Amino acid sequence: MRMIPMQQSFLSSPIRILLFIGVFMITTKGTTQKTTSAKQDSVIVKKIYNASLLEGKSYEWLDYLSNQIGGRLSGSLNAQRAVEWAEKELKELGLDKVWLQSVMVPKWTRGVTEFAYIETELGKTTNVPICALGGSVPTPIGGLKAPVIEVKGIEELADLGTEKIKGKIVFYNRPMQAELIQTFQAYGGCVDQRYAGAKEAAKFGAVGVIVRSMNLRQDDYPHTGAMSYGDLSNSEKIPAAAISTNGADLLSAMLKLNPQIKFNFNMNCRLWKDVESFNVIGEIKGTTYPNEYMVVGGHLDSWDLGDGSHDDGAGIVQSMEVLRLFKKIGYKPKRSIRVVLFMNEENGLRGGKKYAKEAKEKGENHVFALESDAGGFTPRGFSFDCDEANLQQIQSWKPLFAPYLIHYFEKGGSGADIGPLKKEKGIVLAGLRPDSQRYFDYHHAANDTFDAVNKRELELGAATMTSLMYLMDTYGIK
């Protein structure tokens, strides 16, 4: 024990005791408040999950959207039916406001079902499954037949040069990397072949391109998706198709046996003039900060081959469910919460751009946006596009999510549709991150259908999104 020097004892005992009690009270009060609110939060989060799993509507909605409407490419009759259905369903939720936001979208049609075959010699043919890439020009009537040159990527074109490419069909055959755990990374490492493959090959005189489907599985489904001709003139554009993974391996094997074989494919897809379509928006007015907006959404359009259940029917019904669950459990958000069902994510992003543009013009202060566009699989967490302070706040909520096996709260991308809302600071963007292992088995293909979505997994995703929205609304952003 150390003796107290005389001068220190000038601070008289009663004052020291008061100081001590004061500090103690502040500490206790802070801890108690924190404990109480954490406890209250966990009760509300439990209510949200229970409501989603026991009285959820997301699966029933998806059943309708997938099986009664179906694939809904921008500008199609089905896309318009989806707009009308979503508006009607949101109106039935008794939100404060539901409206349509007009947006001009591209209209591309697939036409009659494509077909293709490999010709080893005249009359000896083997059929392979293909589909036109979204935005492609058609083949000439009667099809396009030409020799094939296989490459593993755009960067090989320059080495080959015009001499070896001119008059041929370029076959892009770089597979997704199976060893990447996050399958979206594997997708990102291949998708340039699909998006820019035709544009680049055309510069070397190619007459068409065939692209290996972005699929980690060996099967017979061709996977469509957006492609772009950049600034090529109409006469320079060449037709572009996806081939199934099995078809790609077959074509590659046959080319090794005989480099002289020809590929024949037939597509009569067409790009029309832009047409009017809509984002569908519903809003619950905030009780305390009505001028702070929080958005939850997905995209209402889909590709045309399947019924778009995972991409992005799941995100649509989960986003609608967020507002419905708030109503269901009687939670009145402090901030204004909007569900935005974006049009035209797949081939234009016009809906996302329009929403952000109008929000900016109106000076609406958006503080948070969450998108679900990675399939209706078991949720694992979220990735965030935000600053460090906000990420830390969000990560402090991890214990609330642990009982629901939600562990992933990391920096990363959010969602294409909400991307245009990004600003220097003052907004947190988030993307739901479901298990991604099976996503590319279905993505943009004819098997992306209702039966591939599990009810519980879909409902867990909706509850996880609602819980994050609740916490963001309760604590705001930093």
Q: Which residues contribute to the site for a copy of itself (CB under 8 A)?
A: 49-50, 53-54, 178-179, 181-182, 216-217, 378, 380, 403-405, 407-408, 435, 437-438, 441, 454-457, 460
DSSP H helices in 259-408: 314-329, 350-361, 388-395, 398-401
In the complex, what is the shortest distance from the CB of residue 374 to a copy of itself, in angstroms, rounded to a whole number? 13
In the complex, what is the shortest distance from the CB of residue 385 to a copy of itself, in angstroms, rounded to a whole number? 20
Written as six digits, the tokens of 4 are 């107290």
Shortest CA distance to 305 belongs to which of 438, 417, 443? 443
Distance (Å, whole) CA 155 – CA 362: 44
SS3 335: strand
Q: Which of 186, 320 has the CB closer to a copy of itself?
A: 186
Q: Which of 3, 122 has the CB closer to a copy of itself?
A: 3
Cα-Cα-Cα-Cα torsion 195, 199, 202, 207, nearest 10 degrees, comes to: 40
In the complex, what is the shortest distance from the CB of residue 216 to a copy of itself, in angstroms, rounded to a whole number? 6
Given the structure tokens 């984002």, which residue do they identify?
Answer: 279
Task: Transcribe 222-275 into DSSP letters.
Answer: ----B---TT--GGG---EEEE-HHHHHHHHHHHHH-TT-EEEEE---EEEEEE
Provide, for the chain, the percentages of residues in helix, strand and coil under a 3-state DSSP scheme, each rounded to the nearest 5. 40, 25, 35
Q: Which of 276, 410 has the CB closer to a copy of itself?
A: 410
In the complex, what is the shortest distance from the CB of residue 186 to a copy of itself, in angstroms, rounded to a whole number? 10
In the complex, what is the shortest distance from the CB of residue 245 to a copy of itself, in angstroms, rounded to a whole number? 12
Question: Is the CB of residue 90 less than 8 Å from the CB of residue 316?
Answer: no
Q: Which of 185, 291 has the CB closer to a copy of itself?
A: 185
SS3 59: helix
Strand partners for 102 = 278
Q: Is 55 a catalytic residue?
A: no
In the complex, what is the shortest distance from the CB of residue 176 to a copy of itself, in angstroms, rounded to a whole number? 11
Q: Which of 289, 408 has the CB closer to a copy of itself?
A: 408
Who's near 5: CB < 8 A, 6+ residues apart? none
Q: Which of 3, 257 has the CB closer to a copy of itself?
A: 3
The residue from 87, 345, 346, 459 that is catalytic is 345
Instruction: List the catalytic residues.
Output: 345
